Amino acid sequence: MKKIRFGVLSTARIGVQKVIPAMQKGEHTEVVAIASRSPEKARDAARRLGIPRWHGSYEALLADPDVDAIYNPLPNDQHVPWSIRALEAGKHILCEKPIALSAAQGRDLVEAARRHPCLKVMEALMYRHQPQWRKAKELVETGQIGALQAVQVLFSFYNDDPGNIRHDRAKGGGALMDIGCYPISLSRWLFNAEPQHVLGLIVNDPRFGVDRLVSAILDFGVSHTTFVCSMQAARFQRVHLVGGEGWGELSEAPFNPPNDRPCVISVQQGGQVKRLELEACDQYGIQGDRFAEAILDDAPVPTPLADSIRTMEVIEAIVASGCSGTWVRPGSG
């Protein structure tokens, strides 16, 4: 069965620990090359992961004729520049989230993609491909918990390492960009709508100048999302979906669940609570296969860039609200 040959830009941890091992097992994906600005890092990663080729520069990887698509896990500020360069080199691009530093920068990528209509571009929002979230989406769409009224998300972890890139403001650090993008994307997807206004409260770290704690309300008119994200709090993840006739809860790392055991959704319907068990899987591998299938079938990618830009607009509105203390309409600035 035909596979898409991927090259990986950098030896970033998310790539070498999560995405590459998953894509090496994919039905339609294989990783044939990896690059780093340090030839030694590229060589060591290639040997450790069993990747056939390595390159001592990103430019060399983009010039590799045996690479069909690029996976870009570079720092946030390098997502758009190197994704555009990949398109110009004739490569499809799977780019890590968040897609850009701003909605305006994201639109630059949209314009570049329009100039290369035969190439596919997708943001790597892996959670949307996980069976537990496909089931949650089904619960909402089929009315099994009634009309969705509210989504509540808590997502936190602890990291105060000064050398961690999440604490570099120039590179797009901060809790909102790193993990706040998940509840925003999730809510828009589940409600199948855009928030009319948002309200944000932001606590910045005085040492690093990035947001370490963010609370937000997304107003969808007849329904709401509330979420809290922090990168200096105890590790915790939980999502509640509240409908008019029932509720659902995803409590075991809903955004990065284990890949070696089933996931469980607790659902309350008709006064009874039941556990829905979903098969063990690797969401990164599924993501790679769905993207590869879009390339092979010349079909739309599962998550189009327009969706990614709208998430960026909500992020910007939350930041603006945090500064002004008022409700802000996404896309208004």
Catalytic residue among 3, 25, 41, 97: 97
Q: Which two tokens stand for residue 42?
A: 């590229």
User: Rounded to whole angstroms, how far apart are CA atoms 172 and 168?
Assistant: 7
User: What's phi and psi for 147, nearest 5 deg?
Assistant: -65, 130
Any catalytic annotation for residue 97? yes
The side-by-side arrangement of strands in the sheet containing 232-243 is: 197-204, 211-219, 224-230, 148-158, 232-243, 246-250, 263-269, 272-278
User: Rounded to whole angstroms, how far apart are CA atoms 248 and 326?
Assistant: 31
**Which residue reads 């790392």 in tokens?**
253
* Residue 55: CB atoms within 10 Å: 24
CB of 311 closer than 8 Å to CB of 184? yes
User: Rounded to whole angstroms, how far apart are CA atoms 139 and 145?
Assistant: 7
Q: Which residues are catalytic?
A: 97
